[in-house]
């Protein structure tokens, strides 16, 4: 009959060793000494966190390189009268509303006054009859008090509108897979997008705006797909239960 290995006991009787001064060791049938843990939980988590941080930096570097390499031209006309602003629908109003959100995010991270002025709509533009932007109606309705929401300039709206068209067409015509975000960037790279910003910062600022809007748009898209999948799963479970009945 095989014997079960038992570790040596560490608690010896103190009363038996009071006179001798040496602690009596009670041994078991295991001769191998106990070894320490090779990798602790803290070290394992630290290595995973370091690997995740390195991967994030690599993706950020690739994204910035792709965005800075996009074809952005200042020759694209951004005149509001060339875009049919007087025929604004619900989609255009939502795009202008999102442009105001991008304006708020971007202006917090830049210090150039000229760039901030180019992103912000001036009161003179809204007072002019020729440049009256009907897309502002949703922003005005969502403003709980006058001026609480940011007003995007015509040039910023034109850039966001061009980006939204490419993003929308890509998401509607392509299958959902892991690299769909990079597919969106590839199609944006092949599109002549209007640049915005001063002479020194227009490339960096345009890339920053495109990055901010694309990340926000893909976040909305993923949430929408998750809701659709959840509804589909609930319907499938309901059908299975109905068949059992």
Triad 69, 71, 75: Cα angle to 5°: 145
pLDDT in tens, 88-102: 577 788 888 888 889
% pLDDT > 90, the chain: 7
Cβ 160 vs Cβ 102: under 8 Å: yes
Is pTM, for the whole model, over 0.75?
A: no
For residues 172-199, average pLDDT? 84
* CA 225 from centroid of its chain's CA atoms: 16
Burial of 149 (0-12, 13-18, 19+ CB in 10 A): buried
Cβ 30 vs Cβ 6: under 8 Å: yes
The Cα–Cα gap between 200 and 193 comes to 18
Contacts of residue 194, defined as CB under 8 A and 6 or more positions apart, other chains included, come to 72, 73, 74, 76, 78, 155, 158, 159, 162
The Cα–Cα gap between 192 and 65 comes to 17
Q: Give the pLDDT of residue 86.
A: 47
Check whether 105 has a pLDDT greater than 80: yes
For residues 107-127, average pLDDT? 81
% pLDDT > 70, the chain: 60
Q: List the chain domain ranges.
A: 69-244
pLDDT in tens, 123-134: 665 554 444 466
Q: Give the pLDDT of residue 160.
A: 92
């Amino acid at each position: 009959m095989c014997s079960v290995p038992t570790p040596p006991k560490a608690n010896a009787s103190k009363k038996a060793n009071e006179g001798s001064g040496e602690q009596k060791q009670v041994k078991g049938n295991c001769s191998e000494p106990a070894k320490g843990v090779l990798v602790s939980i803290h070290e394992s988590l630290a290595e995973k966190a370091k690997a995740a941080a390195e991967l994030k930096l690599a993706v950020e570097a690739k994204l910035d390189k792709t965005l800075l390499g996009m074809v952005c031209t200042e020759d694209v006309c951004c005149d509001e009268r060339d875009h049919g602003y007087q025929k604004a629908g619900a989609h255009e109003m939502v795009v202008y509303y999102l442009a105001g959100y991008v304006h708020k995010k971007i202006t917090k991270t830049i210090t150039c006054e000229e760039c901030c002025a180019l992103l912000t709509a001036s009161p003179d533009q809204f007072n002019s009859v020729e440049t009256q932007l009907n897309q502002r109606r949703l922003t005005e309705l969502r403003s709980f008090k006058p001026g609480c929401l940011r007003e995007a300039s015509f040039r910023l709206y034109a850039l966001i509108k061009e980006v939204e068209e490419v993003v929308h067409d890509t998401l509607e015509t392509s299958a959902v897979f892991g690299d769909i975000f990079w597919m969106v960037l590839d199609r944006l790279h092949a599109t002549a997008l209007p640049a915005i910003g001063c002479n020194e910062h227009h490339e960096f600022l345009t890339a920053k705006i495109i990055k901010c809007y694309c990340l926000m748009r893909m976040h909305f898209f993923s949430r929408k797909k998750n809701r659709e999948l959840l509804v589909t799963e609930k319907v499938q479970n309901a059908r299975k239960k109905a068949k059992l009945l």
